[in-house]
Amino acid sequence: MTPGVAGTLDLEKLFAARLHAARVRPYLATALFALHTVESRLVPTMAVDRHWRCYVSPAFVARTPVEELAGVWVHEVSHLLRDHHGRSDRVASERGLTGPGDRLRMNIAADFEINDDVFGDGLTPPEGAAEPGMLGLPEGELMEDYLRQFRLGPYTQGLAWLDCGSGADGLEREWDLGPEGANGLTAQERDAVRFRVAQGITARPGDVPQGWRRWAEEAFHPPQPWRELLGAAVRPAASGPGAGEDYTYGRPSRRSAGLPGVILPSLRRRPPRVSVVIDTSGSVGDAELGSALLEVAAIVRAVGGRRDLVSVLSCDAAAQAVQPLCRAEGITLVGGGGTDLRTGFATALRASPRPDVIVILTDGQTPWPEARPPCRTVVGLFSRRRAARSWDEDDPEYVPDVPPEWARVVDIG
């Protein structure tokens, strides 16, 4: 509870609004109740800091109806749950953004990210809530993306008063109590609250909006860039036992001369042969394919593969001829139509000598081989989140097979 001058802040109204917010958004109740309210006359409306304190202006509470106050509660707690202060700090150091103007832009971008999906369904947006439509921007994007798309100017004039505190943009405010102040949550406690909220959402996803479900999935496992993951999958496949570098007693080590009587293994290097099978069916876009192919080539070079050992095979319903990468500066990718990657597997394995690794780039809408092929398999899977779930117009219930257990699967894009 707030120490201070009694009778100025209408606590009953503020808490009635919190109760309403917790009733219409039960999955946020833990986070709402974990906020510690602090009365402050310096704050224009309501603001949060990174230690989960909520600073409230008594005048703002007096003039705002309960249902709008409830919207502000949810809005402020969303800043904290989505770690906007931490993300702002990271963006600031990555892009070299300094100064209060940039922090204001971060606050606006963070508000856009929240406001396009928190209101409605029992919550009224507070007066003057910033929405991406005000600047002609699309909905449903992340703060980092919005931040690239606008500058401060005449159009943002109306948003300049906006101030959600250091919890939203990472910039310390004059009213902040700081890490030493009373009733803040430690980093571990903050994580625990966010974890409980995320757990509550994943436990009963039914009545939770899409945006919050996505947040809950990624709250503690942020998605990694696919380039790193693809590299991490191809690298061990191309360098594991049987391919690439390994130790052998078959040939004596050059150190042996100095150590008579000691048997030393030597390092033997055999560059890996990699076959890239590319799904050229109509469902995969050219730009995606091009970038993924370049990535695979770069990774193979990094593990010591020579360009002449990398071959590329395009495959739709039937496999095309194998092309070595060295002469295919511009590889012709032939195809269109449906996919059957099984023929691609078979063609790649018929090559002599046999490849050590097969990398498949596909959208996964294909039948897979029954048995495990005799080499390591990495599948780069283009995600089809925006497209319709089904790919067969005659059979809308059709769901394609998932990639088999024996392949390492990396989601691309």
As measured in angstroms, the least distance from the Cβ of 185 to other proteins is 8
Q: Which stretch binds other proteins (CB under 8 A): 60-68, 104-112, 166-174, 331-339?
A: 60-68
Q: Footprint of other proteins on residues 300-359 (CB under 8 A)? A: 302-303
Q: In which element (H, E) is residue 19 found?
A: helix 11-24
Each as own residue / partner, the long-range contacts of residues 344-350 (CB below 8 Å, 24 or more positions apart, any chain) are 344/277, 344/279, 344/313, 344/315, 344/319, 345/277, 345/369, 345/373, 346/319, 347/313, 347/315, 347/319, 347/322, 348/275, 348/277, 348/311, 348/313, 348/319, 348/322, 349/373, 349/374, 349/375
Determine which residue in the list 122, 200, 404, 413 makes contact with other proteins, applying CB under 8 A: 122
As measured in angstroms, the least distance from the Cβ of 164 to other proteins is 20
| C-beta closer to other proteins: residue 61 or 104 | 61
Q: Which two tokens stand for residue 178?
A: 């700081």
As measured in angstroms, the least distance from the Cβ of 334 to other proteins is 30
What letters, b where the CB count within 10 A reaches 16 and e where it falls short, cover 131-168? ebebbebeeebebbebbeebeeeeebeebeebbbbbbb
User: Taking CB under 8 A as the rule, does residue 124 contact other proteins?
Assistant: yes
- Round to whole Å and give the CA distance between 37 and 27: 20
**Strand, coil or helix: what is 323?**
strand
As measured in angstroms, the least distance from the Cβ of 198 to other proteins is 9
Q: How many residues bind other proteins (CB under 8 A)?
A: 72
| C-beta closer to other proteins: residue 81 or 159 | 81
**Do 50 and 166 contact (CB within 8 A), yes or no?**
yes
Q: In sequence order, what are the residues at sequence separation of 6 or more whose Cβ sits closer than 8 angstroms to the Cβ of residue 379?
A: 359, 360, 362, 364, 403, 407, 408, 409, 410
- Round to whole Å and give the CA distance between 132 and 108: 9
- Round to whole Å and give the CA distance between 64 and 67: 8
As measured in angstroms, the least distance from the Cβ of 368 to other proteins is 18
- Round to whole Å and give the CA distance between 375 and 273: 11
As measured in angstroms, the least distance from the Cβ of 256 to other proteins is 10
Determine which residue in the list 9, 27, 31, 49 makes contact with other proteins, applying CB under 8 A: 31
As measured in angstroms, the least distance from the Cβ of 13 to other proteins is 7
Q: In sequence order, what are the residues at sequence separation of 6 or more whose Cβ sits closer than 8 angstroms to the Cβ of residue 217?
A: 202
As measured in angstroms, the least distance from the Cβ of 394 to other proteins is 33
As measured in angstroms, the least distance from the Cβ of 328 to other proteins is 25
Report which of 286, 281, 290, 288 is spatially closest to residue 319, judged by C-alpha positions. Answer: 281
User: Taking CB under 8 A as the rule, does residue 75 contact other proteins?
Assistant: no
- Round to whole Å and give the CA distance between 36 and 49: 10
The CA angle 70-72-77, to the nearest 5 degrees, is: 100
As measured in angstroms, the least distance from the Cβ of 143 to other proteins is 21
| C-beta closer to other proteins: residue 13 or 354 | 13
- Round to whole Å and give the CA distance between 216 and 202: 7
The CA angle 321-326-329, to the nearest 5 degrees, is: 85
User: Taking CB under 8 A as the rule, does residue 16 contact other proteins?
Assistant: yes
| C-beta closer to other proteins: residue 240 or 400 | 240
The greatest distance separating any two alpha carbons of the chain, rounded to the nearest whole angstrom, comes to: 91
Determine which residue in the list 18, 25, 50, 84 makes contact with other proteins, applying CB under 8 A: 18
Q: Footprint of other proteins on residues 187-246 (CB under 8 A)? A: 187-189, 191-193, 195-196, 220-221, 223-224, 228-229, 231-233, 235-236, 239-241, 245-246
Q: Which stretch binds other proteins (CB under 8 A): 59-67, 162-170, 208-216, 321-329?
A: 59-67
Determine which residue in the list 156, 183, 291, 323 makes contact with other proteins, applying CB under 8 A: 183
User: Taking CB under 8 A as the rule, does residue 97 contact other proteins?
Assistant: no
Rg of the chain (C-alpha set): 28
| C-beta closer to other proteins: residue 269 or 350 | 269
| C-beta closer to other proteins: residue 30 or 283 | 30
As measured in angstroms, the least distance from the Cβ of 74 to other proteins is 13
Determine which residue in the list 155, 161, 247, 406 makes contact with other proteins, applying CB under 8 A: 247
Q: Footprint of other proteins on residues 255-284 (CB under 8 A)? A: 259, 261-265, 267
Q: Footprint of other proteins on residues 353-412 (CB under 8 A)? A: 408-411
Determine which residue in the list 46, 47, 70, 319 makes contact with other proteins, applying CB under 8 A: 70
